[in-house]
Amino acid sequence: MKLQADLKVFSMRLLLGALLVAAALIQPAVAGPSLADAIGNVQPKMVKVYGAGGFQQLEAYQSGFLISAEGHVLTVWSYVLDTDYITITLDDGRKFQAEVIGADPRLEIAVLKIDARDLPHFNLNDAAEADVGDRVLAFSNLYGVATGDEPASVQKGIVSAKTELAARRGAFETPYTGPVYVVDAMTNNPGAAGGALTNRQGRLLALLGKELRNELSSTWLNYAVPVQELAAATDDILAGKVRPRGDDENLRRPADPLTLTLLGITAVPPVLPKTPPFIDAVRSESTAGRAGLQPDDLILFVNNRIVSSLEALENELALLDRDDSVRLTVQRGQQLIDVTLGARE
């Protein structure tokens, strides 16, 4: 009798469990947005960036995404931005001329600004994080296939590793050496740099990195820089802490300003409207020579203010007295070097 009762109780529990499972299967899933909805929410935040083609027939386009309703765009810092005529194309096909308001070469990012309002955008403070094995989406204008109101390309993949890019130096040449997501999607294509990596719910994870090829094996690295690594520098740029100021006519200028000649530097001739501030020659006995500056060094910052052209460099120096010291950040190959110079010999 007891055995029969136990079997009856067991059968009732089994039936109840089956009914609960069936009810769960019948009820609609209460989950996040569908994949189609997530993609649809991200697309209006993506932009296409067009600028300089550089040398050796390099592509004149890359990707970016909106980070404010007022038209701020986060993208990668690259040769594409070395022009006064940068064009941004929005998801709806509208085109705007953009201004570079700041950059951080160490992180290889730049912030652009267009004259627009009420734009859909990512909130960098609401960025998500991903773990190894998480599925992700990569949005970009790879190969420049979208020129108007066509949507950005979307690639599906997973995070295959979270690592420090510094561990790959010597194989991959890049100024950035911090954390990255390595993904199994082929994001390392022309035009993809500056795109957005999101999770499957459409929340921003990272900025797609520039093309990196292993110098030893000729293999390409598909990586993205987590937003958490970029947020502070982006906030500084938005706050105007690294903007050029030399073109402000209201600033007080010294009667006897600092010049490249006083520092012992000869720059390349200004053959283009926006000639990059490369060093052509350095007097060996000068303050620049003693600091180790060399021909072909590219001057990026003057006292932490970006100088994107020779004219901008000269304008920044013109705000300093000849007796002032000046801090320069130069790029030599893929290495960034900081030096402090004084005009006095």
Q: Mean pLDDT across the chain, nearest whole number?
A: 84
Q: Is the predicted pLDDT of residue 64 greater than 90, yes or no?
A: yes
Copy the structure tokens of residue 10.
Answer: 């067991």
Question: 38-238 adopts what CATH topology?
Answer: Thrombin, subunit H (2.40.10)
Same CATH fold assignment for domains 38-238 and 260-342: no
Of the pLDDT bands very low, low, confident and very high (cuts 50, 70, 90), residue 251 is low
Q: What pLDDT sits at residue 301?
A: 87
Inform me whether the pLDDT recorded for 79 exceeds 90: no
Q: Give the C-alpha separation, 74 to 86, whole Å.
A: 14
- pLDDT (tens digit, 9 = 90+) per residue, 220-237? 788 999 999 999 999 988
Which range, of 122-136, 295-309, 331-345, averages the lowest pLDDT? 331-345
Distance between CA atoms of 252 and 241, rounded to whole angstroms? Answer: 18
The pLDDT of residue 30 is above 50: no
10 Å Cβ neighbour count for 92?
10
Two tokens, residue 82 = 């070395």
Q: What is the DSSP string of 4-23?
A: HHHHHHHHHHHHHHHHHHHH
CA atoms within 13 A on the CB side of 318: 16
How do the domains of the chain map onto residue ranges? 38-238, 260-342
Q: What is the predicted pLDDT for the residue at 26?
A: 52
**DSSP letter (8 states) at residue 55:** T
The answer on pLDDT for 206 being more than 90 is yes
Closest alpha carbon to 231 in 305, 122, 81? 122
Topology given in CATH for the domain delimited by 260-342: Pdz3 Domain (2.30.42)
**pTM of the entire predicted model:** 0.74
Per DSSP, the three-state class of 1 is coil
- Tens of pLDDT along 147-195? 888 999 999 999 999 988 765 545 556 778 789 999 988 777 889 999 9
What integer pLDDT is reported at residue 95 of this predicted model? Answer: 97
Better pLDDT: 342 or 110: 110
The number of CA neighbours under 13 Å toward the Cβ of 287 is 20
| Predicted local distance difference test score (pLDDT) of residue 145 | 83
- Give the residue from 340, 99, 107 showing the smallest Cα distance to 235: 107
Query: In the chain, pLDDT over 90 holds for what percent of residues?
Result: 50
pLDDT in tens, 38-58: 999 999 999 999 998 755 567
For the segment 96-142, what is each residue's pLDDT rounded down to a tens digit?
Answer: 999 998 888 888 899 999 999 999 999 999 999 999 999 999 999 99
Residue 171 three-state SS: coil
What residues have CB less than 8 Å from 183, skipping those under 6 apart? 136, 138, 157, 158, 159, 160, 197, 222, 223, 224
Higher pLDDT, 243 or 329: 329
Closest CA to 292 of 326, 258, 264, 259: 264
Alpha helices in the chain (DSSP H): 2-26, 35-42, 231-238, 260-263, 287-290, 310-317
Residue of higher predicted confidence among 311 and 206 = 206
- The model's confidence at residue 94, banded by pLDDT at 50, 70 and 90, is very high
Distances 270 to 155, 273, 278, 288, 314 between C-alpha atoms, Å: 42, 7, 10, 21, 12
Confidence of residue 144 (pLDDT cuts 50, 70, 90): confident
Backbone angles phi, psi at 251, to 5 degrees: -75, 145
Say yes or no to pLDDT of 249 above 90.
Answer: no
pLDDT reported for residue 57: 64
